Chain A
Amino acid sequence: MIFTIFLPVLGGIICLILRERRRLCAGVALFATIINGSFLPFNLFEEFGMNLGNWGELGIRLTMDDLAIPFMLSTFLVMLAITLNSLRKNYDGFFYSLILIMYGTLNSIFLSRDLFNVFVTVELVSIISFILISYEKKGRQAWASLKYLLLSSLGLNFFLLGIGLVYMETGSFAMEGLNHVSSIASVLIFGGLAVKSGLFLFSMWLPDAHSNAPVEVSPILSGLVVKIDVYLSIRFVQYESFGWLKDEFVYIGIFSAIAGIILAVNSKDAKRLLAYSTISQVGFMMVTCDKASSWHGFSHAVFKTLLFLVVGNVSTRLGTKEYRDWSGRITRIEYLFLLVGSLAISGFPMTSGCVTKEVIMHDACCPWLKVLMMLSSVGTAMIFSKFIFLKPSKETGSLPIGTLAAYSILSVAIIVHGIVGFEIYMFESLLMIAAGVGLYFLYRKFMRPLPVFFERIDNSLAIYLIMFLFSIGFVIFST
């Protein structure tokens, strides 16, 4: 099990050293990813738990359990797709080394049961993503990186303060200690990580970073880096001191789901639209915050990667990010994969999106919540009608072999997951899609990009602090 951490990191270090030899590094990256993936079926279901170096309480504990399975699977699929897609491009060895080290580090986050180790690994992932976002050295990318860096570092310092309080109260950094810590420590831990979560108002750096990043990087950010906080929140809710978090997520999550949709519907830029849709989907996941949401995290990572890759490749080929200009110019094969991704995210039966989304909606606690969740589902269908009703050109078109393989692996994952998990009651999602399509045709004349008030750096910082205060207030009034 521990090889899933050490093997990619070793590959990354080799790429770091041999970074001038591009092809070799790409080969190492592909090889390490595939080896890791082929061990995954044996690893995922074994019982695993070890204290590194036999140090017991003093050391770092790694454990595998059910919650980590979807995240580790999605990490493998996303990394494989990205490596395949990047093969024909001109990335140097450093890019592959960053990707591989990120792969190992993400696996480490999903296994670790030590708060300080989580801090270090999360910071490493953040540093890698800062470098990756501005990999093409455009001014806009550097600005997005800097904004992300300032906000995320501030948030992680709050997290560090929180685990300092945990250490003072329990005498160790182990996660078991979270069963009885004071509420202020728990709220600092939640609030510090929330800046990376992608929830609306907590992390308004997200649209800029996700939409300006290079083609291969946006899927990593949206599929994996955002999922770190989803995973850790689901993990923390299991502990007693975080009982309040589940109640708070009902409000924050559904608010974020709706707000993300309102922003995305009005957006013209395809990548920006996907970034806003990430905000909405993360909110949707967080509403229940249990095992079902971790599986929605898996399916979201897969179809969002597919969408980001297709949209990124198409927009670099055509030279425009505005989806309306693609009409008639996008080839049939690209349209096919865009259609698969769009249908999956809107919850069409027999796709992964439908399965996980319906399970989450089924678990909703009260009627008003269910209505709002249906509304957000309708909204998602409305957003992605924009892609579904694009007009493909007459020619079939051809794709490079790596890109085709990446798209196909992701599509197969979507469809297999959709068929395996299908239940008959899930046909109700067809109704929601129909409603979304209808609303899209009614509303399409009035779509105007909304102002980016909250995305300015000062405002996003201030609103983050205010939402932090809101969380503290929530804890105080709920206990």
Chain B
Amino acid sequence: MTGNIIFYISVAGMLVGTIGMTLSRNIIKKILSLGIVETSINTLYTGISSRKSIIPPIVNGDFSIAYADPVPQAVIITGIVISFALLCLSLVFAIIIYNKYHTMDIGTIESNFEREKE
């Protein structure tokens, strides 16, 4: 039951983040929206673990209790690290771009590039 609720909420979060990435015109806002998508997908994996039970899988020799599934929550640690790395890198690129063009508005940056070409 908990798993289902978390699943639907995280999918909704992914939708919100995707819409934010499509609509916002500011680089930082786009990066934050990407952060929302990544957090949602990480939450979704914990939701997958807690489909049957929400007891943490720290076993003291008693296998009769229904524990939460350990596999998704173990693998998503890797996913969390990767999303952290991506967030850091994207902010670095944003800072480099800001130092060169002194704006965060993508319309201005892109028209700059297209004018440079001609």
Contacts and interface: CB of A to CB of B under 8 A. Distances in A.
B110 A456 contact: yes
Interface in B81-118: 82-83, 85-86, 89-90, 93-94, 96-97, 100-101, 106, 109-110, 113-114
A154 B86 contact: no
A284 B35 CA distance: 35
Contact of A139 (B41, B100, B114): B100
A204 to B, nearest CB: 13
Interface in A148-200: 149-150, 153-154, 157, 160-161, 164, 167-168, 173
Nearest to A268: B117
B14 A143 contact: no
Name the residue in A137, A167, A452 with the highest tally of chain B Cβ atoms < 10 Å from its Cβ.
A167
B30 A157 contact: no
A146 B94 contact: yes
Contact of A142 (B45, B51, B93): B93
B97 A153 contact: no
Given A157-B38, A164-B45, A134 B86 contact: no
A127 B101 CA distance: 24
B82 A120 contact: yes
Given A127-B85, A149-B89, A160-B41, A154 B21 contact: yes
Interface residues of B, number: 39
B49 to A, nearest CB: 10
Nearest to A159: B41
Contacts of A324: none
A143 B75 CA distance: 31
A149 B86 contact: yes
Contact of B78 (A120, A146, A161, A452): A120
Interface string B50-87: 01000000000000000000011001001100110110
Contacts of B86: 123, 127, 149, 153
A142 B90 contact: no
B37 A157 contact: yes
B89 A130 contact: yes
Interface stretch (A5-13, A391-399, A458-466): A458-466
A116 interface: yes
B21 to A, nearest CB: 6
Interface in A395-417: none
A168 B101 CA distance: 46
A145 interface: yes
B34 to A, nearest CB: 6
A150 B31 contact: yes
A458 B71 CA distance: 36
B75 A153 contact: no
Interface in B15-43: 18, 21-22, 25, 27, 30-31, 34, 37-38, 41
A452 B14 CA distance: 29
Which of B34, B44, B48, B82 has the most chain A CB within a 10 Å cutoff? B82
A160 B34 CA distance: 14
Given A452-B114, A457-B106, A145 B48 contact: no
A457 B97 CA distance: 15
Contact of A134 (B11, B37, B45, B93): B93
B44 A164 contact: yes
Contact of B48 (A134, A154, A168): A168
A462 B22 contact: yes
Interface in A439-478: 452, 456-458, 461-462, 465
Nearest to B47: A164
A131 interface: yes
Interface centre among B44, B48, B89, B94, by most chain A C-beta atoms within 10 angstroms, is B89
Contacts of B100: 139, 142
A23 interface: no
Interface string A120-143: 100100010011001001011011
A149 B90 contact: yes
A164 B72 contact: yes
A209 to B, nearest CB: 12
Contact of A167 (B34, B72, B89, B114): B72
Contacts of A116: 75, 78
Contacts of B93: 130, 134, 142-143, 145-146, 149
Contacts of B38: 153, 157
A119 B97 CA distance: 29
Contacts of B30: 150, 457
Given A150-B31, A164-B44, A143 B109 contact: yes
Contacts of A456: 106, 110
Contacts of B25: 458
A462 B23 CA distance: 9
Interface string A58-70: 1000000000000
A161 B48 contact: no
B61 to A, nearest CB: 20
B82 A123 contact: yes
Q: Which 6 A-B pairs have the closest CB atoms?
A: A139-B100, A146-B93, A142-B96, A142-B93, A123-B82, A157-B41
Given A119-B79, A157-B41, A164-B44, 16 more contacts: A127-B89, A130-B89, A134-B96, A137-B96, A139-B100, A142-B93, A146-B97, A149-B90, A153-B86, A154-B34, A161-B11, A452-B114, A456-B110, A457-B30, A458-B106, A465-B22
9 contacts: A127-B86, A142-B93, A143-B109, A161-B11, A161-B41, A164-B44, A164-B48, A173-B75, A461-B22
